[in-house]
Structure 1
Amino acid sequence: MGKIIRDQRKGHGLRQEDLASMIGVSHVSLAHIEQGRPSAKLGNLLELMSQLGLRLVIDVPAEERVLAAEP
C-alpha cells in the first residue's frame, strides 16, 4: 500500500511535505506510511487515499462470506 501511495503522490506532483500538510500529519509520518511501517493509523491511510483519488476495496471470496442471521 505504501508504494501505491508514494507512486500516486509523485504522479500528482506532490512532495511528501505537501501531501502530509493536506491531511494534517508530519512528513515523517507520511514517509513511514510510504515505507510500509506497520504503525500507520487507518484513518491517516484512508485520508491519504482520498486525497490521491484512491479507494480501498475489501473483497471476501464467496466461499468465505458469512451472512447475518435473520432477526
Structure 2
Amino acid sequence: MAISDPAMLGAVIRGTRRSHGLTQSQLAGLAGTGLRFVSELERGKPNVALDKVLAVLAVLGLRLQAVEAGS
C-alpha cells in the first residue's frame, strides 16, 4: 500500500492497532510514546517525530519503506 499523506498513515496505524486489540494508551506504553502522540498520529497530524512513528510501527509489526514513485 502506498501511503501518500499523514492522514493515510494515521488510518493504517489506527486499523492495525485495533486489529491487534490495543487501545491508544496501550500502544503508547509499548512504543514508549505518550497517548497524545498516538492520538495525533492516528488523526494525521502532519508534524510528528519520525523516531516515535518508527517505534509505533515496530510495535504493530509494520515498517516504513521508501520506493521510487512509479515503481
Match of 2:35 among 27, 48, 63: 27
Q: TM-score, normalised by structure 2?
A: 0.80
Gaps of 5+ in 2: 1-8
Matched with 2:57 is 49
**Aligned Cα RMSD in Å?**
1.3
Distance 1:36 1:53 in 2: 19
Instruction: State the Cα deviation string for residues 21-67 of structure 1 (Å, max 9, x = none).
Output: 111211111000000101211001111111101111111158xxxxx
Q: 1:59 to 1:20 in 2, by over 3 A?
A: same
Give the AA of the match of 1:42: L
Distance 1:30 1:23 in 2: 9
The list of structure 1 runs, each at least 4 consecutive aligned residues, that deviate by more than 3 angstroms after superposition, is: none
Distance 2:16 2:69 in 1: 28
The number of residues matched between the two structures is 62
The structure with the largest alpha-carbon Rg is 1
Gaps of 5+ in 1: 63-71
Distance 2:17 2:49 in 1: 18
